[in-house]
C-alpha cells in the first residue's frame, strides 16, 4: 500500500514561519502558446517559486553540514520500502519526544515516524508555536540504533521555539534523514507496487510525497503479518472450495454481498454492496462519499460475507476477510469502467475514481450442508484449506 503523507502545496502556504510562501503562476498560458507553436498545437507551462522547506519535505545532511550529502546524493534504498514504526503520542502534552517513548525493538535501517497530531495546525500561525520536537536523548538513541529515516508531523524535528537556541541534531552528521511529514497510522505492504513512489503535477498544482511503508506489528493489524496478504487469484488457487462457494453465491445474488467495516468509534458497520472480479483481483467499489468507504480510508480492514436468506444454507455461504489497498491508477480505472459498462450497462466512463479498493485476503471460510453434516472449510495464507465436519 502507498500512503500519501504529503500536504498540498498552494500559493501563499506558509510551512515554516519566517520563510517565504510559494508563488505559483503561469509562465505560458495555452492562449499565449498558440502564437508560439504551429497551428493546432498548444501548451501550458507553470512557474513555481518556493524554498525547500515547503509542505512535506526531507532534510538531507547538507541542510546542516557543508560537506553532507544533498538530496540528490541520498541512496534511495534508505528512503524506500523501509520497515516502519509509528510512535503514537497524540495524548501526550509535553512538547519533547523523549527516549522513553521510543520502542525497544527498533531495527537498524528502519524508519521511525512520530505521530504527534500537530499537523492539525498545518497552514496556520499556530503551527510554529510551541510545536513538538525530538529531544537530544531520543535522537541519540535513534542514531545508536542505526535508524535510516526519522519523520515527525511538526514544524521541525528540532526545538524551533525562539528561546531554544536550536542546534542541528546529530542525525544529520551521520547521514541520516529527517522527514517532516504526517505520520499516518495506516498499515502498508511492500508487495506488488501499483504506482510510482514519487509523483508531482505542476498542472494540477499538487505535489505529493508517497511512502510505501512496511509497518510491523501495526495496532490495526494485530495478529496479521503484512507479507501474508494474498490476492484473489492466489487465494482461488490455494482454496478452490471456498472460492467456488463464494463465486456461486456472489453470482446467484446478482453480486450482492454484505461488507463489514469499522466505524470511527470502533463499532462495526454492515453495508450491502456489490464487489466485482476484474483482472484476477477482487475489487470493492461503489458510490463515492459513503460511510463504508470512509471507514476503509481510515482503517483498511474488512470482512465480506455472501448474502443469503436460507437458514438451512442449502447453497452454502462464504466469507472473506483482509485489508484493502486504494489503487490510484488512471489506466486501470479506465479499463474497469469499460468492463463494467460492457457487463452491466452502468456507465461511469470518464469519471474520476475517488477510491478504488483492491481486496487482499488474510483469511476465508465457507459453510456447506452435506448429508446432514455441517462442513466448515477454513483457509489461511500459506496453508491449504481444510474441512471441519460438525454433526
Report if residue 182 sits inside a domain.
yes
Torsion angle in degrees (nearest 10) through CA of 328, 332, 336, 338: 130
Q: Are residues 74 and 202 in the same domain?
A: yes
Q: Which residues pair with 23 in a beta bridge?
A: 49
The cell for 391 is 454433526
Task: Let me know how long the chain is.
Answer: 391
Q: What is the pLDDT of residue 217?
A: 39
DSSP code for 230? B
Q: Decide: 191 and 284 in contact? Cβ < 8 Å.
A: no
Compute the distance between CA of residue 245 and CA of residue 265 in angstroms, rounded to an integer.
33
Statement: residue 208 has pLDDT above 80: no
Q: pLDDT-based confidence at 176, cuts 50/70/90? A: very low
Q: Are residues 121 and 176 in the same domain?
A: yes
Whether residues 260 and 140 share a domain: the answer is no
CATH code where residue 128 lies: 3.50.30.50
Of 220, 246, 275, the last residue of a domain is 220
Q: Of the ranges 61-75, 87-101, 242-256, 375-389, which one carries the lowest mean pLDDT score?
A: 61-75
> What CATH number is given to the structural domain containing 351?
2.30.110.10
Provide DSSP, 280-311. TEEEE--SSS-HHHHHHHH--EEEEEE----T
- Residues 150 and 180: their CA atoms lie apart, in Å, by 8
- 112 and 214, same domain (yes or no): yes
Q: 233 with 214, same domain? A: no
Name the least confident of 19-23, 189-193, 249-253: 189-193
Mind listing the pLDDT tens digit for each residue in 45-99?
A: 999 999 888 888 888 888 777 887 888 887 777 777 788 888 999 888 899 999 9
Beta-sheet strands, E only, within 176-253: 177-180, 198-201, 206-211, 214-215
Per-residue pLDDT, averaged over 246-275, amounts to 92
**Predicted local confidence at residue 376, as pLDDT:** 92
Of 220, 237, 267, which closes a domain?
Answer: 220
245 and 202 within one domain: no
Output the CA–CA distances (angstroms, integers) from residue 151 to 101, 105, 177, 262, 388, in the order listed. 15, 17, 8, 28, 47
Check pLDDT > 50 for residue 200: no
pTM of the model: 0.46
Q: Are residues 260 and 343 located together in one domain of the fold?
A: yes
Whether residues 215 and 318 share a domain: the answer is no
pLDDT in tens, 127-145: 888 899 999 999 889 988 8
Q: Average of pLDDT values for 243-262?
A: 94
Q: Is the pLDDT of residue 298 over 70?
A: yes
Q: Are residues 166 and 313 in the same domain?
A: no
Range of lowest pLDDT (13-17, 64-68, 92-96, 187-191): 187-191
d(CA 329, CA 353): 9
Residues 6+ apart with CB under 8 A from 79: 58, 148, 149, 177
Compute CA 52 distance to the chain's CA centroid, rounded to the nearest angstrom.
Answer: 24
167 within domain boundaries: yes
Contacts of 280 (CB under 8 A, 6+ apart): 231, 232, 233
The whole-angstrom separation of Cα 262 and Cα 368 is 28
**Three cell numbers, residue 279:** 483482472
Give 143: exposed, middle or buried? Use CB within 10 Å, 0-12, 13-18, 19+.
middle
328-347 burial: b if 16+ Cβ within 10 Å, else e: beeebbeebbeebeeeeeee
**Percentage, residues of the chain above pLDDT 90:** 34
C-alpha cell at 212: 510505501
Return the DSSP state at 85.
Answer: E
Q: How many CB atoms lie within 10 A of CB 63?
A: 17
CB 317 within 8 A of CB 245: yes
Helices (H) and strands (E) in the chain, counts: 7, 22
> Can you give 17-74 as a three-state secondary structure string?
CCCCCCEEEEEECHHHHCCCCCCCCCCCEEEEECCCCCCCEEECHHHCCCCCCCHHHC
Indicate whether 386 belongs to any domain.
yes
Q: Name the one residue in this structure whose C-alpha cell is 460492457.
A: 342
Q: Where does the pLDDT of residue 309 fall: very low under 50, low under 70, confident under 90, or very high at 90 and above?
A: confident
Phi and psi torsions of 227, nearest 5°: -70, -10
Q: For a pLDDT cut of 70, what percent of the chain falls above it?
A: 81
Give the phi and the psi of residue 272 in degrees, each rounded to 5: -75, 140
Give the residue-averaged pLDDT of 136-163.
85
Check residue 232 and give left, alpha or beta (phi > 0: left; psi -120 to 50: alpha): alpha
287 with 143, same domain: the answer is no
Domain holding 262, by residue range, is 229-390
User: Number of folded domains in the chain?
Assistant: 2
DSSP state letters, 115-166: E-SGGGGTTSGGGGSS--EE-HHHHHHHHHTT-SEEEESSS-SS--STTS--
213 plus 264 within the same structural domain: no
Cα–Cα nearest to 61, from 172, 161, 162: 172
Amino acid at each position: 500500500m502507498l500512503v500519501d503523507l504529503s500536504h498540498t502545496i498552494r500559493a501563499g502556504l506558509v510551512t515554516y514561519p519566517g520563510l517565504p510562501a510559494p508563488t505559483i503562476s503561469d509562465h505560458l498560458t495555452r492562449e499565449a502558446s498558440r502564437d508560439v507553436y504551429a497551428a493546432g498545437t498548444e501548451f501550458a507551462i507553470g512557474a513555481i517559486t518556493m524554498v525547500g522547506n515547503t509542505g512535506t519535505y526531507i532534510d538531507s545532511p547538507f541542510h546542516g553540514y557543508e560537506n553532507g550529502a544533498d538530496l540528490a546524493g541520498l541512496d534511495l534504498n534508505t528512503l524506500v520500502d523501509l520497515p516502519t514504526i509509528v510512535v503514537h503520542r497524540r495524548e501526550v502534552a509535553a512538547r519533547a519526544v523523549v527516549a522513553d517513548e521510543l520502542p525497544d525493538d527498533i531495527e537498524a535501517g528502519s524508519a521511525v515516524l512520530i505521530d504527534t497530531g500537530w499537523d492539525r495546525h498545518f497552514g496556520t500561525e499556530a503551527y510554529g508555536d510551541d510545536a513538538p520536537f525530538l529531544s537530544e536523548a531520543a535522537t541519540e538513541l535513534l542514531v545508536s540504533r542505526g535508524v535510516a529515516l526519522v519523520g515527525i508531523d511538526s514544524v521541525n524535528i528540532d526545538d524551533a521555539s525562539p528561546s531554544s537556541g536550536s542546534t542541528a541534531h546529530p542525525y544529520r552528521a551521520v547521514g541520516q534523514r529527517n522527514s517532516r511529514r504526517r505520520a499516518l497510522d495506516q498499515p502498508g505492504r511492500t508487495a506488488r507496487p501499483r504506482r510510482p513512489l514519487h509523483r508531482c503535477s505542476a498542472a494540477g498544482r499538487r505535489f505529493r510525497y508517497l511512502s510505501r511503508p512496511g509497518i510491523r506489528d501495526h495496532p490495526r493489524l494485530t495478529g496479521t503479518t503484512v507479507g501474508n496478504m494474498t490476492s484473489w487469484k492466489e487465494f482461488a488457487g490455494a482454496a478452490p472450495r471456498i472460492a467456488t462457494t463464494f463465486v456461486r453465491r456472489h453470482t446467484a445474488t446478482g453480486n450482492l454481498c454484505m461488507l463489514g467495516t469499522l466505524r470511527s468509534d470502533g463499532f462495526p458497520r454492515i453495508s450491502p454492496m456489490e464487489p466485482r472480479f476484474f483482472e484476477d483481483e477482487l475489487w470493492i467499489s461503489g458510490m463515492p462519499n459513503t460511510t463504508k468507504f470512509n471507514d476503509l480510508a481510515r482503517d483498511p480492514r474488512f470482512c465480506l460475507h455472501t448474502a443469503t436468506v436460507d437458514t438451512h444454507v442449502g447453497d452454502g455461504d462464504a466469507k472473506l476477510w483482509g485489508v484493502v489497498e486504494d489503487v490510484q491508477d488512471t489506466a486501470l480505472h479506465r479499463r474497469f469502467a469499460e468492463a463494467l459498462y460492457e457487463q452491466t450497462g452502468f456507465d461511469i466512463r470518464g469519471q474520476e475514481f475517488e477510491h478504488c479498493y483492491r481486496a487482499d485476503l488474510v483469511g476465508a471460510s465457507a459453510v456447506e450442508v452435506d448429508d446432514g453434516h455441517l462442513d466448515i472449510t477454513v483457509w489461511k495464507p500459506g496453508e491449504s484449506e481444510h474441512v471441519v465436519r460438525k454433526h
